[in-house]
Chains A and B, each alone.
Chain A
Amino acid sequence: MTAQKTAGQAGPEATARYLIRGASPLGKARTDLLVQDGRIVEIGSGLSAASATVIDADGLIALPGMVDPHTHLREPGREDAETVETGSRAAALGGYTAVHAMANSSPVADTAGVVEQVFSLGRDAGWVDVRPVGAVTVGLAGKQLAELGAMADSRARVRIFSDDGICVSDPVLMRRALEYVKAFDGVIAQHAQEPRLTEGAQMNEGKVSAVLGLAGWPAVAEESIIARDVLLAQHVDSRLHICHVSTAGSVELIRWAKARGIKVTAEVTPHHLWLTEELVRSYDPVYKVNPPLRAEEDVAALRAALADGTIDVIGTDHAPHPSEAKDCEWAQAAMGMTGLETALSVVQHTMIESGLMDWEGFARVTSAAPARIGRLAGHGRPLAVGEPANLVLVDPAARWQVDLRTMATKGRNSPFSGRVLPGAVVATFYRGHPTVLDGKLNTPSRQSGPRGTEGER
């Protein structure tokens, strides 16, 4: 403990200076950035490199560190699928400096004790800020509200609550949850899936499911819940966040709600911005995900909605599974795809290289907006002097082939395996410390203070 404390407080890290030379913030004019003591201390051309480690960022784009509003880290309970350590390594490699860990662990993150445990695991790992999401209902059972206030007041300072994986389908319970979290400026992140309409559902219901003989997951099952919930949010004047929006109809409902001033935000996954149900024809369970891959027109609508701000954020819904959960019949396979290490590249491919969005927009949907939704201080800030040094350097010209064997996540269920993707994370700075350098994991940050003591009351 003493040694670690020394390293954390007085070691070389604490006083380390990094001069990032010639980066393009948000893809704009080139400049130098000087990072010291966890902050950006100087911006300008020709900065002095005295006593600083120089990072040549010629041709690289500097972006605020990415914030994932929707990650499954599996710990506690399913450490065979992922741990906070492996998941947050993957996050750092993907350009993230903060992730929100979903509540469907075992035990469920429905008490202050569990969310503090996840929070501590994240802090110990030191790769990114791990912000737990609290369950809305006890055990995700949809019967009784979890102790939302206790989780909000805990060291983990939970602000996003979700039963993700399961829809809060009871309208009364949903109304109460929306109302209750106003007490601490929380938000309910709804997994919009009408349960009766999706019993046994295997894939998008439509022309492909008809041919493949797989039970359909109709768009209306998502849209009917979104319609209900935006009206509930309006009625009780609460914040509502819609997880992983996947249909063109959902986009229209959210656009309508926003036009009426309803406090709704929405999220889309990288895979729903690219992949379609046509891939299911292979019956390869790597393409099994919830909500399911949809049709071409849905993908187009989601891209347009992200570009015009109807959809606010990218959420990976990173869902690692052990190989046996995917090496089986489609109907028996687990739902979910990994995403932390491919999100940036997939968004670059689908949004930036398609001309729909620039890097400023990228920073909005991957950093500023998710940090704001999660009320996460120190993230999603502009690249400016005095701001926390959570930032990522990206080589937009790089091309790389997705290779499952070299990924940091334990999950081997990437639907992009084998594809050549554009854009690579060269360096990630988390609290002023490079967690990733030269595209490889460096060392975790130990600057966040003595572990297990900060915040104790």
Chain B
Amino acid sequence: MIPEAAAAGASRVVMSAADIDRALTRIAHEILEANKGSKDLLLLGIPRRGFPLAQRLAAKLAATDPSIDADEVVGQLDVTMFRDDLARQPTRAPERTRLPAAGIDDKVVVLVDDVLFSGRTIRAALDALVDLGRPRAVRLAVLADRGHRELPIRADHVGKNLPTASAEKVRVRLIETDAAGSGWSGSDEVVIEAGL
């Protein structure tokens, strides 16, 4: 454990809870606009933090368009088994993949994740989707894009672009997924930490 105080000098908050909420609100509007409404929309969050973000987006869609059932348009897509670095990382237990009963065929799937970095997770997600069915289109929404792409992938909807050095770490903390403590205030935030 690195004491939070020691790390504090080298880390800075780049998105507050209010910033995150505003960004999600904007993304929700962009999604509706790009899709010309809510027809066939399906938001698939990538574990772990992409899923609560997808749920929040769905709630915002439902607030805008009462015909939307927030539970019906959101799901979770686990990409663990499709990663290209399984043999180089500690073993990861897979997370659950949850899809609405209607499946993904002919849907407009919006993949939702917290941070877009190398692009490898999204590459794995595209492979995972292929094995589940054939969506009409796939889009990508991320809370933060920190650059340093290693694959030809870009996001359709970005909460905030974060110029970072490759050694820096971007840490997203959400009340749904992250335990309080270790000096964390307990409200949503995006932090950039200096690399070691």
Direct contact between A and B judged by beta carbons closer than 8 A: no
Point out residues on A near B: beta carbons under 8 Å: none
